Amino acid sequence: VDLFFMVRYQRLPEWLKTNKVPSGTNFARIKRDLRGFNLHTVCEEAKCPNIGDCWGGGEHQTATATIMLMGDECTRGCRFCSVKTSRTPNPLDPNEPENVAHAISKWGLDYVVLTSVDRD
């Protein structure tokens, strides 16, 4: 086994990985609502290690979410990104704008970011 190769081409550095399993009432509610509204977040698709902290919020923390518009498939294949890539992504959801509005108003988050996949 070539250890130099393994260390040099590791997908994510060790300090970026977490063993903590996200949990909590707010986390579970947001995850359930995402499925119900057929929405996606960068937090999940990019496998962010801070997802539990962001969605969980807490008494003295800001609850946040980054909603990914236009589905969960990107037409670019950026090597640094964990979002799924497809040359022929699924069709856009005509209900997405309304679902995003409902989700944001229901969650009562302190901070919401809207971003999108690329459809080149």
17-67 residue pLDDT tens: 666 667 777 788 888 999 999 999 988 888 887 788 787 765 556 678 889
Any domain includes 86: yes
> pTM for the whole thing?
0.72
Domain that holds residue 106: 19-116
Tokens 């992504």 locate to: 89
Confidence of residue 7 (pLDDT cuts 50, 70, 90): low
Any domain includes 8: no
Any domain includes 49: yes
pLDDT at 70 over 90: yes
Any domain includes 83: yes
Count CA within 13 A, CB hemisphere, residue 2. Answer: 5
Choice between 50 and 92, residue whose per-residue pLDDT is larger: 92
Angle between helices 96-107 and 25-36 (to 10 degrees): 160
Tokens 């399993």 locate to: 21
Domain count across the chain: 1
Q: Give the separation between CA 23 and CA 21, rounded to whole angstroms.
A: 6
Any domain includes 6: no
pLDDT at 109 over 60: yes
Any domain includes 1: no
